[in-house]
Amino acid sequence: MRDTFRKHAALAGVLLLLMGGVARAQQGAAMPDAPTPQPAGSESLGDLKETVKPGAANGTPANGGSGNQAAGQTSSSSSSSATPDQSAAPPGPTPDQQEAPDIPPPGQGPVQTLVIPVNEVLLSVTIRDKKGAMVPAIDSRRFRVFEDGVRQRIVFFTTDPFPLSVAFVVDQSLPADVMNRVNESLAAVTGAFTPADSVAVFGYNSSPKMITDFTGAQGARLSVALNEAKAPGRDMGVPQAGGPMDNGIMINGKPVDPNTTTGGSTGGITTPIFPKEYHPLNDAVLAAAVELAKQPRGRRRILYIISDGKEQGSKASYKEVVRYLLSNNISVYGTLVGESAIWGLGYLDKFHIPLVPTVRDNILPKYALATGGTLDSEVSENGMQLSFSKIVNGVRDQYTLGYVSHANVLASRFHTTEVRVEGIPNLDIIAPDGYYPSAHNSNTASR
């Protein structure tokens, strides 16, 4: 019995020894070997790369694990001695532990927009042959546009018609017989326009007056306004002698010029007294242009005048009115009537304006030429009616060219423009002579 107990005790001791050896082996595997001391200056570059990782600071390795414990303790102790309040604060998150910034989906975040004024110039171009017929279907590659003599790159080209905004101006100071034919022809005006067009009606005698603001071209309001635009005209009777100035200019009861007295021993002649005439064409054009400038972009702005072109008594000058027209992209068209129409019946252009005495005071062709418009010269009622539709249809058949100018929109200098067509001879090209930059009419580009 005693021997059996001894055998079991010896076996248990062996088992305990074996278990202790296994435990010590496991503990030795878990503990790293102590570093082997090396002499000073023996560290290699490879050791430095393993010790300090790029992007890690203050002992924090780049892979986010624990750094050198001794270095961390040294840093912590020095930090606590320098700033004791911060030593109690919990450490902040490492760069890898920080939350990613909130990035909104494309198109939903705040957008910063830079608005740049762009001086986009649009030119309405009419092209006719030498017989006055419109020339359609010219390829865009044949067109050349020049500003101040420098060729520009055409960025917009179309032959599509634009809706029209038309200021229709009637000269009510015409002679009575001419005015009667104009009155009868006004009924045909509405037939020249489409429902997409809008028309305002103006009249002028001693001063301009707006009869109706812009209204639908096919509405009843336009017909009523055109009827109100009718006028009796000026009486062109023979001046009669008599009145306080019958004996001419008198000073202290004596005539200044004896030759202007009536009969008597001096044998003088009677000086007829003509009433002063007013033809404020400049003021009428400016008043209509101011209303046209309020029309939205995307519509062609047309100022249509039926007149003999005489100008007298306006407050506005021709130069300032043309400047306003060109600054607001307004073209002047018209039908010449009366004595101004006798010398050149039919279509008029800049190459066919004879310098005859009867048109010395006719400034309507100057307006048309400066703004790229055209005129028709008619003396009969039927010719006036046809001219309305002929000119308006010509406007719809225009070419529209656009380019981005180098000119500053805030500058006030006049810039010349010229349109050419390459490869097709004997064309009459009608376009504005130039323009004045206008910030009000410029487009904006966003970046």
Residues 309 and 423 in one domain: no
Tokens 């005439």 label which residue?
A: 277
191-250 pLDDT, tens digit each? 999 999 999 999 999 899 999 999 999 899 999 999 999 999 987 654 445 555 555 566
Look over the chain and give the mean of its residue pLDDT values, rounded to a whole number.
Answer: 75
Tokens 């435990």 label which residue?
A: 23
Position 299, amino acid:
R
Residues 381 and 406 in one domain: no
Residue 85 lies in a domain: no
Residues 348 and 383 in one domain: yes
Residues 155 and 191 in one domain: no
Query: Comparing 41 with 220, which gets the higher pLDDT?
Result: 220
Residue 76 lies in a domain: no
167-200 pLDDT, tens digit each? 999 999 999 999 999 999 999 999 999 999 999 9
Checking if the pLDDT of 64 tops 70, the result is: no
Listed residues 367, 391, 415: the one ending a domain: 391
Position 302, amino acid:
I
Q: How many domains does the chain have?
A: 2
Checking if the pLDDT of 359 tops 80, the result is: no
Token readout for 238 is 């023979």
Position 159, amino acid:
T
Residues 208 and 298 in one domain: yes
Per-residue pLDDT at 406? 80
Q: How far is CA 394 from CA 37, 126, 308, 430, in A?
A: 103, 8, 21, 11
Structural domain of residue 300, as residue ranges?
164-230+273-391
Q: How far is CA 358 from CA 2, 308, 376, in A?
A: 161, 11, 17
Per-residue pLDDT at 441? 54
Q: Are strands 198-204 and 164-171 parallel, antiparallel or unpaired?
A: parallel
Residues 140 and 171 in one domain: no
Residues 130 and 191 in one domain: no
The band of 266, judged by pLDDT with boundaries at 50, 70 and 90, is: very low
Listed residues 373, 391, 409: the one ending a domain: 391
- Candidate from 21-30, 105-114, 138-147, 245-254 with smallest mean pLDDT: 21-30
Per-residue pLDDT at 258? 57
- The model carries a pTM of 0.65
> Any idea what the CATH number is for the domain that residue 408 is in?
2.60.40
Give the alpha-carbon dihedral of 21, 25, 31, 33, to 10 degrees.
110
Length of the chain equals: 447
Checking if the pLDDT of 354 tops 80, the result is: no
Q: What is the largest CA-CA distance in the chain?
A: 193
Residues 205 and 314 in one domain: yes
Per-residue pLDDT at 362? 86
